[in-house]
Structure 1
Amino acid sequence: MSTPFYVSPQQAMADRAEYARKGIARGRSVVVLQYADGIVFVAENPSRALHKVSEIYDRIAFAAVGKYNEFENLRIGGVRYADLRGFTYDREDVTARGLANVYAQTLGTIFSSVGEKPYEVELIVAEVGSAPEDDQIYRLPHDGSIVDEHGAVAVGGNSDQIGSYLDQRHRDGMTLAEALALAVESLGRDTNGSDRQLTAEQLEVAVLDRTRPQQRKFKRILGRQLARLMETESASTAKTDEPSDEEE
């Protein structure tokens, strides 16, 4: 009788984590930033049918990278959870923290299960508050852990380099145009050090805007509005860079 092949639990979990990380890194990144009036989501995504950023509930949005079918199943489950909880109790009882806990339990169970492969996804759940200090942003890696983020966060692809770039340049009180410009700049940075110029057609952009009078704060920024925002900030930057008449 042959001896069964043995793999230590630590090695098995490390292999599963490496498998999931490699799958996530193959996807294009998503960036989430706080700005003066809310939270902006920017993804490099030329598809107009397969969204990486979606609304979950009144003040809550969801962003994801990795395998589309896996994070789409999670998104649908989150919408059902939010609708059921809001209907059973109160709309105010649906929070990003509660949704993040549900996702964490699901991802953690799948990651530790021997019978199925880990999900190759990384999620962001964000909720806009009545003031900037009330905003909530949670990042959920493949293993189901929860990371409370502030200011700016990047997931997928070259997220480490993009996140470092954002941390150095993001500041409180940015306008939407400034936050969008910073997000686009960070997404255009390649690992080889060169910069790509991303166009509006290559981007998926949405906001949670606390100033909207509607109960639902989620809004997609598309077409001419997106192009106009990008042009506005480009023109402002160019004007700032121009030397004044007094300079020699």
Structure 2
Amino acid sequence: MPFYVSPEQQMKDKADYARKGIARGRSVVVLQYDDGILFVADNPSRALHKISEIYDRIAFAAVGKYNEFENLRLGGVRYADVNGYQYDRKDVTARGLANVYAQSLGTIFTETNKPYEVELVVAEAGTEAASDQIYRLTFDGSVADEHGYVAMGGQADAVAQALKDRFQEDMSLAAALKAAVQSLEAQDTDRHLEAKSLEVAVLDRNREHRLFKRLPAARIEALLGEAGESASDGSGGSGDDDAGES
């Protein structure tokens, strides 16, 4: 006689399995700053990226199993390229891409034995901060419209709480990066993240055409040093000091 598992228990087991897999990974944070959207990942690898460009104003960040979120990233790039070519580049939006990812993840979660162990953020930089879009997608296809900041993977709750305490609207790039790094370090009080162990990128609304840009280790180190100097000068890392942004 075959072993019976109720649909409710089956869905719960899948969800628990996916959550455990995601929690084993290193964290990623996404937050707005005065000139765009900042992505920071605890990722020492120079080849296996957690943060990538999707289209002109859209970027992608993920945690979990690399092969699974890389498949999703490639599918998103193809979706964006085809729609931008058939219609207009402005018709490719983060919301449309988030809907496509939600359908794919939802189908995989309900119709396969093993769900994807991934969590995603799809972000689009608008012409001003109020028009920025940040969507968080979980392993079951759920979508959340986020504002200000997002933390995923690892001890995400601890990172999110640290971000909540440090985040301010209209932060400079240096201040936002410092807040992100300190929030990632909040998972382990004994850990200090150096520039070479970070993957950092921005959607900079001041750039033309393609807004995505990766920051090299030297630039990351300079920004962290700038944020430290601002704090020692008593500015508190607010958005009033935006020197050194790019």
Q: Normalised by the size of structure 1, how large is the TM-score?
A: 0.93
- CA deviation after TM superposition for structure 1 residue 173, in Å: 0.7
1:226 aligns with 2:223: no
User: Which amino acid counterpart does residue 101 of structure 2 have in structure 1?
Assistant: Y
Please identify, of 194-203 and 175-184, the stretch whose mean Cα deviation from structure 2 is larger.
194-203
Q: Is the 8 A contact 1:210 1:217 kept in 2?
A: yes
Q: Distance in 1 between matches of 2:229 and 2:175?
A: 12
Q: Which amino acid aligns with 1:109?
A: T
Q: How many residues align?
A: 235
Superposition CA RMSD, Å: 1.1
Question: Which of 104, 115, 118 is the equivalent residue of 1:118?
Answer: 115
Structure 1 equivalent of residue 97 of structure 2: 99
Question: Which residue number corresponds to residue 9 of structure 1?
Answer: 7
Moved over 2 A (4+): 238-241
Indicate whether 1:185 and 2:179 are aligned.
Answer: no
CA distance in 2, matches of 1:195, 1:206: 25
Partners in 1 of 2:141 and 2:86 — Cα distance?
26
What residue in structure 2 maps to residue 60 of structure 1?
58
Task: Verify the 8 A CA contact 1:70 1:119 in the aligned structure 2.
Answer: yes
Residue 170 of structure 2: aligned partner:
173
> Percent of aligned pairs with the same residue?
64
Q: Contact 1:26/1:157 (CA < 8 Å) preserved in 2? A: yes
Larger radius of gyration: 1
Asked if the contact 1:54–1:63 (Cα under 8 Å) also holds between the matched residues in 2, the reply is yes
Q: 2:244: which partner in 1?
A: none
Matched with 1:246 is none
Cα offset, 1:195, TM superposition: 4.6
The answer for the alignment partner of 1:153 in structure 2 is: 150
Structure 1 CA distance for aligned equivalents of residues 183 and 166 of structure 2 = 10
Matched letter for residue 62 of structure 1: F
| Aligned counterparts of 1:145 and 1:223: Cα–Cα separation in 2 | 34
Greater CA drift, 6-15 or 225-234: 225-234
**Displacement of 1:190:** 2.1
Hey, what's the Cα distance between the residues in 1 that align with 2:78 and 2:221?
34
Q: How far is the alpha carbon of 1:202 from its aligned partner?
A: 0.6
Does structure 2 conserve the Cα–Cα contact (< 8 Å) formed by 1:189 and 1:195? no
- After TM superposition, list the pairs within 5 Å mapping 1:205-216 onto structure 2: 205-212=200-207, 214-216=208-210
Within-5 A mapping of 1:15-54? 15-54=13-52
Unaligned runs of 5+ residues in structure 2 are 236-246
Which whole-Å CA distance do the structure 2 matches of 1:195 and 1:29 have between them?
16
